[in-house]
Structure 1
Amino acid sequence: MNPWLVLTLAGVCEVVWALGLKYSDNFSRLWPSIGTIVIAFLSFVLLANAMKSLPVGTAYAVWTGIGALGTAIAAVYLFSEPVSAMRVTGILLIVIGIAALKMA
């Protein structure tokens, strides 16, 4: 499988487990906690698989970037987190950084 696709899936899993942390309520809710742990493990496995073919620094930076970007966007919709010019600028900078690493 294409390592960039695997890395993208790992990043999506990172978004899911990051949001799962909120739903697990400090791991006090059983099923959200189990789901969060399973998805986190899957995210790490996919990341490790992608790193077989991609440079470690690039793969890790893209993985965390996808996670940060996706989580920030999802949090606005799911948890009504505020949107400000500074937050949007930060998200755009993350996207630019991910694109630059992909092209490098």
Structure 2
Amino acid sequence: MAWIVLLIAGLLETAWAAGLKSLSESFRLSLLFATAALMIASLAALYWSMRSLPLGVAYPIWTGIGSVGSVIVGITVFRQDIGVLGIAGVAFLIIGMFLISFETH
């Protein structure tokens, strides 16, 4: 269950990062509050997952999910360009998260 909550926490991190980007393009008070709520929810889910998972596993995977998710949202929603090095970087993040996950076994 902690792994599912950690995945949700990472997806919420991606959502609030996208909210911040949207705010930087067009400030709206409602979006500010929604982004803040997503931040709080992401941290609450991370906290909950850390009750069962070690810090050295949960935190890097949370940030990794948020990082990979932010790149995907950047490309698909905000039309960000990505090159070969960017793709390689995302691949290394995914491999790193996979390897770190074995620390709990």
Q: Who is 1:32 aligned against?
A: 31
Q: Contact between 1:27 and 1:33, CA under 8 Å: does it hold in 2?
A: no
Q: Contact between 1:21 and 1:27, CA under 8 Å: does it hold in 2?
A: no
Correspondence 1:6 to 2:5: yes
Dislocated runs of 4+, deviation >4 Å? none
Q: Given the superposition, is the C-alpha separation of residues 27 and 37 from structure 1 closer, same or farther in structure 2, using an over 3 Å criterion?
A: farther
Q: Who is 1:89 aligned against?
A: 88
1:35-66 CA-to-partner distances (Å, cap 9, x unmatched) read 10000000000000000000011100000000
Report matched runs for 1:1-104 at 5 Å: 2-25=1-24, 28-104=27-103
SS of the residue aligned with 1:54?
Answer: coil
Report the number of matched residues.
Answer: 103
Superposition CA RMSD, Å: 1.3
- Please report the TM-score for the alignment, with normalisation by the length of structure 1: 0.94
